[in-house]
Amino acid sequence: MLLHFTKMHGLGNDFVMVDLVTQRARLDAAQIRALADRRFGIGFDQLLVVEPPRDPEMDFRYRIYNADGGEVENCGNGARCFARFVRDQRLTHKHEIHVETAGGPLMLSVQHDGLVRVDMGRPRFSPVAIPFDAPGDQPLHPLEVGDETLNIAVVSMGNPHAVLQVDSVESAPVERLGPLVEAHPRFPKRVNVGFMQVLSPSEIRLRVYERGSGETLACGTGACAAVASGIRQGLLKSPVKVHLSGGELSIEWPDPEGALTMVGPATRVFDGRVALN
């Protein structure tokens, strides 16, 4: 069968969007891996699927698959693309869109300037929420990786994040430490790994090694996790501008007891059809 799709990106973090509201298909992990291949498939960091909601209070169900075929809980850049996609495809005319995800409900707002604001919910720091094997909740946790000990913050933004502060993102050992921390046995569901350089209390640079995808040009939930951990440690103050390899996001968390919000762009690249084997 031919599957209709749309290629999109959020600051270079690229996605294939599939509407399973108006078309029917079943995608298994092997098919997703084949589609994700940048030489023999379409190529993407993640596959985003739109489905009818199970909860009558929601507008859609939003499912996220990494390039390795595994389903994950949340994706901030993907959420912005999701909001643009369902409006572009005329699946809804709403400016405020409520979606259910494996990581919990999200509220997406398409602004008049074309940017998308995402209510990401309240960051969670409890090791149980990540999940992370640690004796208690604290701003930083020691993590032994090989013959060195890293001090990491752990944050759940509906998906798991570890954040490591570095002097420079350019010289940060992302390729070496990223996969080691991602698959560390203390993270039973693996983890996304952020390398954060603090420029000022209102500005950071960030690189993210994403679980199941490797380093990407941008990671929305990673930006949220980095800012949340920085505010918690007293390093940052809301709002914070986050410089990623693919561009900039604005993260706001003025009330530690409230929700964190993210604002950024979402861009359609092209539409296409692909044969499913």
Is 277 annotated as ligand-binding?
A: no
- Do 2-112+266-275 and 127-258 show the same overall fold? yes
CATH topology of domain 127-258: Diaminopimelate Epimerase; Chain A, domain 1 (3.10.310)
β partners of residue 144: 149
Are 10 and 78 in contact by the 8 Å Cβ rule? The answer is yes
In which band, very low, low, confident or very high, does the pLDDT at 124 lie, cut at 50, 70 and 90? very high
Domain positions in the chain are 2-112+266-275, 127-258
Architecture (CATH level 2) of domain 2-112+266-275: Roll (3.10)
Q: What percentage of the chain carries pLDDT values higher than 70?
A: 100
Task: Please give the C-alpha separations between residue 208 and each of 71, 184, 212, 255, in angstroms, as whole numbers.
Answer: 19, 16, 12, 25
Is 220 annotated as ligand-binding?
A: yes
Is 151 annotated as ligand-binding?
A: no
In which band, very low, low, confident or very high, does the pLDDT at 55 lie, cut at 50, 70 and 90? very high
Is 74 annotated as ligand-binding?
A: no
Give catalytic status of residue 224 as yes or no: no
Among candidate residues 219, 228, 231, 260, the one labeled active-site is 219
Cβ neighbours, 10 Å, residue 249: 29
Instruction: Evaluate if pTM is beyond 0.75.
Output: yes
Task: Give the DSSP letter string of 9-28.
Answer: EETTEEEEEEE-SSS-----
Give the model's pLDDT for residue 1: 80
Give the model's pLDDT for residue 233: 97
Among candidate residues 8, 75, 242, 262, the one labeled active-site is 75
